[in-house]
Structure 1
Amino acid sequence: MSARYQLDDSLGYVYKKMAEHLELRIDSGELQPQSPLPAERRLALEYGVSLGTARRATELLRERKLVVTLRSKGTFIVDRRKTTAQPVKANADNRGVTAESLDHRDVSDNS
C-alpha cells in the first residue's frame, strides 16, 4: 500500500509536518470532533512513515490539546469549537468523559 498523504520534502522533522497536516485535517472537518483518530499503525501507513514517527506526531497533538487518549479506548479529537466541556464517548453505554477532566498526559504507553 502506498502512502495516501505526501509530506513536503523541506527541512524539518517529519513528525512535526505530520502533526501539522493532521491539525489541518481536524480544522477542515475531515477529522470530526469527538471521533476517534485513526490508529497509529494506520496513520503510519497513510503517511508512509515509521510507527515511531506516527506515535510522536500523535504525542504532539496531545501536547497541543487537539486529541485526548483514553486507555484501552483510543485517541479522540477534542472539540475546540465549543467553550463548554463536551463529552468524548468512552464506552458502549455512552457515559462520556470530558477532555477537560483528563490531564492530557500520554496514557497509551504507561502500563
Structure 2
Amino acid sequence: MDEDRSHIVDPTRPTYVYQQVADDIAQQIASGRLAPGAMLPAERDLATQYGVAYLTARRAVRELRGRGLVVTLPAKGTYVVKQGAT
C-alpha cells in the first residue's frame, strides 16, 4: 500500500474526505489486497499517500476501527483483523 492514492480523494464529492479514505481501505480489505494480519501504514504515511491532512487520515483509521475492520495497538500499529464488505 505504498503507492500514491491521492487520486481516490475528491473533495468536491458529497462525502467526507475521511470517509473516502476509509472506504478505499475497506475496499482493499474486502478484495483481499489487505489480508487479515496486514499492518496499515502509519497515519502520517496514509496522509501522504492519500494527499490529505494527518488528522483526516487519523479519522479514517478511527472509522475503520468502528467498522470492526482494523485494530490499533498502542506503540505497535494498526492491523487488519477481518475481511469486510464495503
TM (normalized to structure 1)?
0.66
After superposition, what is the alpha-carbon deviation per residue over 1:75-94, rounded to whole angstroms, capped at 9, x for unaligned?
1001248xxxxxxxxxxxxx
Picking from 68, 73, 80, the partner of 1:77 is 80
Give the number of the structure whose alpha-carbon radius of gyration is greater: 1
Q: Percent identity?
A: 47
Q: Gaps spanning 5+ residues in structure 2: where?
A: none
Tell me which residue corresponds to 2:4: 4
Partners of 1:30 and 1:80 in 2: how far apart? 10
Which structure 2 residues correspond to residues 60-75 of structure 1 after superposition, within 5 A? 60-75=63-78
Q: Gaps spanning 5+ residues in structure 1: where?
A: 82-111
Tell me which residue corresponds to 2:56: 53
Partners of 1:28 and 1:48 in 2: how far apart? 23
Runs of 4 or more consecutive aligned structure 1 residues displaced over 2 Å after TM superposition: none
After superposition, what is the alpha-carbon deviation per residue over 1:15-64, rounded to whole angstroms, capped at 9, x for unaligned?
01110011001111111211111110110010000000000000000011
CA-based RMSD of the aligned residues comes to 1.6
Query: Across the two proteins, how many residue pairs are aligned to each other?
Result: 79
- Which structure has the highest helix share of the two? 2
Higher relative contact order (CA 8 A, sep 6+): 2
Tell me which residue corresponds to 2:47: 44
Tell me which residue corresponds to 1:25: 28
SS in 1 for 2:15: coil
